[in-house]
Amino acid sequence: MIDLSPYDALIFDMDGTLIDSMPAHLDAWEISCKYFGYEVEREFIHALGGVPSEQTARILNEKFGLNHDPKAVSQHKIKTWESLGRLPEIIEETVAIARDHHGKKPMGVGTGSKHQHAREMLAHTQIDHLFDALVASCDVQNGKPHPETFLKVADSLGVLPERCVVFEDTQIGLQAAHAARMDCILVTPDGLRLEAFNR
């Protein structure tokens, strides 16, 4: 078990970290990519977990030399995700940590999802009450791997960035955490792994 006593606050990514929503998001992206002519593998999209949809569309445009409107791609993906009608479940290992520290340490969520979607998912899974702050893609100018999301959560919690630890499931999330000078705990199929920021 990772010792969390050195940290004053805990920050969690949402999709793939607290909530098992990645399969449905990948399905939605797969459908949208075919619609817009992006010949992309699921592994590539999964690696972009935590990146806001419009930014993902820009990355896809650059990768494939296309010029689709990022907002149109994002809206198509979101509508496709909603049409799938899948309600995700919690990821027990990380939610158990959040429950255990509720009321003991300030905690927040930093996600690449839209604010309304994040609130709906946290409420659906009945874990929204655990968190003191929520920063979503529309709350920042720069999405992950830029550190702004996690820095804004730390600021909302009133805790210095270097006193926070981030829970993430992607390398892009890890980059964002380290760019914010925060340690990161990666959520992997083999369990939790601490990736300390090299101060």
Verdict on whether the full-model pTM lies above 0.85: no
Residue 50 has pLDDT above 80, yes or no: no
Active site residue 13: yes
How many residues in total does the chain contain?
A: 199
Instruction: Tell me the C-alpha distance between 183 and 95, whole Å.
Output: 19
pLDDT in tens, 122-164: 999 999 999 999 999 999 999 999 999 999 999 999 999 999 9
Domain boundaries, given as residue ranges, for the chain: 9-21+89-195, 22-84
Question: 9-21+89-195: CATH homologous superfamily?
Answer: HAD superfamily/HAD-like (3.40.50.1000)
Instruction: Tell me the C-alpha distance between 198 and 126, whole Å.
Output: 35
Burial string for 20-36 (b: 16+ CB within 10 Å, else e) reads ebbebbbebbbbbbeeb
Q: At the top level of CATH, which class does the domain 22-84 belong to?
A: mainly alpha
Mean pLDDT of 64-81: 94
- Percent share of the chain, pLDDT over 70: 100
- Predicted confidence at residue 52, as pLDDT, reads 84
Catalytic residue among 3, 8, 13, 128: 13
